[in-house]
């Protein structure tokens, strides 16, 4: 499921054009900043006692069911584990489950690893797995990932170390999603005892990851400690403790990194990139599996006509957004999902397919003709904006300028930063809004995760766009096990979205990571949201 709520906290939730690539335009629009993306940083040379890590906000909970944003996920990924693991190379490998089997299209069987201990010393069983997955999909919990389980009929323990999931209809994505946050496994006994307090500062969580929760000082910091009983010797932590400190002010956060008050951090303000490059540490960039786009949130007004949506797309100065909004650290998008999101296909194939897409070039005169053809001149659209970050303000203003240039009336509706999340979680908050800028990332390396969200009735189909042909292809893809065949079906979905524009692609930018001179070893790419990245963090000398 594509995460979009995260944009509410910091709009620098971005995507990059090609895994391991540089800042060339790849046919999608040039970048003026000097950066390249990579999967790894130099390996740690030894252990380290204490590391201080910056977060731009305090997590509301450490319950994986609510880890729907960067701050909680950055912490939870090191504490709780899933049945499988999405690695920094975007390959899925076994974790708490040794294997899975799909004996028929409606059945998935998971064989669990023996001898895995929770942080309280109890042993993981199939009952814990069932309880964890039921917790994720329980409507009463109201978790962020409940829709991942929409096609699930039953989840049962069929042996002490075996869990069987029965589906109502085929869904190959479910198996992949269980490699990410929706597949997080927790202690059944601890879940039941904690009840509604599970994941809060006083109670915490009880999982199996390489770190456990040592202390949560509400409003100040979260400290994790090394799990000496961790089952995976290849990821035994090099750091004894990691202290996550909450620094909301972007300038203060950048200064803390430069002075060495904190050792590192992800998702840095784009306005600080050039300054951070002058520090004693190192600024890294990595891939994200999603792009910035303008989501069409209402088809009742002018944007209900596909010609108007196409015209607006044609009129937008995307290169101007990249330059003014993210200081050149990005490229113009060509589709809703960048090549990094296509990791289930060979990298050269993903890049070649993306390069072959026609560029989304600015053509104001052509757009005016479409508006005239649609009889939409003078019609009004409402665009949501918010003073969250420069890139959001710049992009919303650029879209408004484009709309005005082709003869539409525009209202920019300002949403308070703390209310922006509601636009993605509460449909009623989108009433009267035609368009909003969003970003996010896929949990899995499968692009179908993004494109299936445009099916009729999907939660993230914000404008309630509906296309029977699209729905049929998406359902066929969800029932197709072969990655190559599934990719070809997904390319058809991509083609339809580019033609019909239920969302308007804007730009891609990289994930940022700063490491001070004391530390190294972690991945700078999006898998840090579900992979136990901090286990690799160690001394740089």
Per residue in 188-201, pLDDT tens? 999 999 999 999 99
**Residue reference for tokens 């994930």:** 511
97 forms beta bridges with 112
Instruction: Kindly report the average pLDDT of the chain as a whole number.
Output: 91
Return the structure tokens found at 185. Answer: 């496994």
- CATH code of the region 5-35+289-508: 3.10.105.10
pLDDT value of residue 365: 98
Rounded Cα distance, 276 and 255, in Å = 9
Residue 327's region, left for phi above 0, alpha for psi from -120 to 50, else beta, is left
Per residue in 308-328, pLDDT tens? 999 999 999 999 999 999 999
pLDDT value of residue 101: 95
CATH superfamily, domain at 47-79+209-281+523-541: Periplasmic binding protein-like II (3.40.190.10)
The sign one gets for the Cα dihedral 255, 57, 242, 274 is negative
Contact 62, 72 (CB under 8 A): yes
The CA-based dihedral angle spanning residues 83, 120, 526, 1, taken in that order and rounded to the nearest 10 degrees: 50
Mean pLDDT computed over 245-271? 94
**Coil, helix or strand at residue 466:** coil
Residue 49: is its pLDDT beyond 80? yes
158-167, 253-262, 417-426, 466-475: range with lowest mean pLDDT: 417-426
**Taking each helix axis from N to C terminus, what angle separates 468-478 and 483-500, rounded to the nearest 10 degrees?**
160
pLDDT value of residue 388: 78
Residue 26: is its pLDDT beyond 50? no
**Cα–Cα distances in angstroms (integers) from residue 217 to residues 55, 190, 223, 242, 263, in the given order:** 14, 21, 8, 14, 19
pLDDT value of residue 216: 98
Per residue in 485-539, pLDDT tens? 999 999 999 999 999 999 999 999 999 999 999 999 999 999 999 999 999 999 9
Per residue in 94-134, pLDDT tens? 999 999 999 999 999 999 999 999 999 999 999 999 999 99
26-35, 210-219, 359-368, 385-394: range with lowest mean pLDDT: 26-35
Per residue in 386-429, pLDDT tens? 987 788 999 999 999 999 999 999 999 999 877 887 888 788 99
**Residue reference for tokens 């600015």:** 362
Residues 6+ apart with CB under 8 A from 491: 353
Residue 69: is its pLDDT beyond 70? yes
Which residues of the chain form CATH 3.10.105.10? 5-35+289-508
Per residue in 170-187, pLDDT tens? 999 999 999 999 999 999
**Taking each helix axis from N to C terminus, what angle separates 483-500 and 306-315, rounded to the nearest 10 degrees?**
90
Closest CA to 344 of 450, 237, 459: 450
Contact 82, 169 (CB under 8 A): no
Which CATH fold topology does 81-195 show?
Answer: Dipeptide-binding Protein; domain 1 (3.90.76)
Return the structure tokens found at 127. Answer: 């009952």
- Main-chain phi, psi angles of 345, to 5 degrees: -115, 160
Percent of the chain with pLDDT over 70: 94
What's the number of CA atoms in the CB half-sphere (13 Å) around residue 275?
15
**For strand 162-167 and strand 507-508, is the pairing parallel, antiparallel, or unpaired?**
unpaired
Rounded Cα distance, 62 and 71, in Å = 10
Which residues of the chain form CATH 3.40.190.10? 47-79+209-281+523-541
Residue 10: is its pLDDT beyond 50? no
pLDDT value of residue 31: 60
Residue 3: is its pLDDT beyond 70? no
Which residues of the chain form CATH 3.90.76.10? 81-195
16-25, 66-75, 217-226: range with lowest mean pLDDT: 16-25
């Amino acid at each position: 499921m594509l995460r979009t709520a995260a944009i509410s906290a910091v709009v620098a939730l971005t995507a990059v054009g090609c895994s391991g690539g540089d800042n060339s335009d790849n046919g999608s629009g040039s970048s003026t900043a000097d950066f390249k993306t990579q999967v790894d940083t130099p390996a740690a040379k030894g252990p380290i006692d204490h590391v201080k890590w910056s977060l731009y906000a305090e997590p509301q909970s450490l319950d994986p069911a609510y880890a729907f944003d960067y701050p909680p996920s950055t912490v939870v990924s090191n504490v709780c584990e899933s049945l499988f693991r999405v690695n920094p190379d975007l390959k899925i490998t076994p974790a708490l489950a040794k294997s899975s089997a799909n004996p028929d299209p409606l059945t998935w069987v998971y064989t669990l690893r023996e001898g895995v201990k929770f942080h309280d010393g109890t042993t993981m069983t199939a009952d814990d797995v069932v309880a964890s997955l039921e917790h994720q999909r329980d409507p009463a919990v109201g978790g962020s990932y409940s829709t991942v389980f929409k096609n699930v009929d039953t989840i049962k323990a069929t042996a002490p170390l075996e869990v069987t999931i029965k589906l109502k209809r085929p869904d190959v994505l479910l198996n992949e999603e269980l490699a990410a946050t929706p597949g997080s496994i927790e202690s059944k006994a601890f879940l039941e005892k904690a009840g509604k307090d599970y994941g809060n500062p006083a109670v915490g969580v009880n999982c199996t990851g390489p770190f456990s929760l040592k202390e949560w000082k509400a409003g100040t910091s979260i400290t994790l400690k090394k799990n000496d009983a961790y089952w995976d010797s290849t990821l035994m932590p090099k750091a004894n403790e990691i202290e996550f400190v909450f620094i909301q002010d972007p300038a203060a956060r950048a200064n803390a990194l430069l002075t060495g008050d904190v050792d590192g951090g992800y998702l840095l303000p784009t306005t600080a990139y050039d300054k951070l490059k002058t520090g004693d540490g190192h600024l890294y960039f990595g891939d994200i599996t999603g792009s910035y786009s303008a989501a069409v949130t209402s088809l009742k007004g002018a944007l209900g006509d596909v010609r108007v949506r196409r015209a607006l797309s044609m009129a937008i100065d995307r290169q101007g957004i990249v330059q003014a909004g993210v200081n050149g650290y990005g490229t113009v998008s060509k589709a809703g999902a960048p090549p990094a999101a296509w990791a289930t296909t060979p990298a050269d194939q993903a890049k070649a397919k993306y390069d072959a897409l026609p560029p989304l070039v600015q053509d104001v005169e052509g757009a005016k003709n479409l508006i005239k053809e649609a009889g939409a001149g003078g019609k009004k659209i409402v665009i949501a904006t918010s003073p969250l970050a420069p890139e959001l303000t710049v992009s919303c203003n650029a879209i408004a300028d484009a709309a005005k240039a082709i003869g539409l009336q525009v209202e920019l509706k300002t949403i308070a930063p703390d209310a922006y999340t509601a636009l993605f979680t509460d449909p009623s908050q989108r009433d009267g809004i035609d368009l909003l800028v969003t970003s996010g990332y896929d949990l899995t390396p499968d692009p179908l995760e993004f494109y299936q969200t445009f099916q009729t009735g999907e939660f993230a189909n914000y404008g309630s766009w509906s296309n029977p042909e699209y729905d049929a292809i998406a359902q066929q893809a969800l029932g197709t096990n072969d990655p190559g065949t599934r990719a070809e079906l997904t390319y058809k979905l991509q083609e339809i979205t580019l033609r019909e524009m239920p969302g308007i692609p804007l730009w891609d930018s990289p994930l940022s990571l700063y490491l001070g001179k004391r530390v190294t070893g972690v991945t700078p790419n999006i898998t840090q949201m579900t992979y136990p990245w901090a286990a690799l963090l160690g001394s740089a000398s």
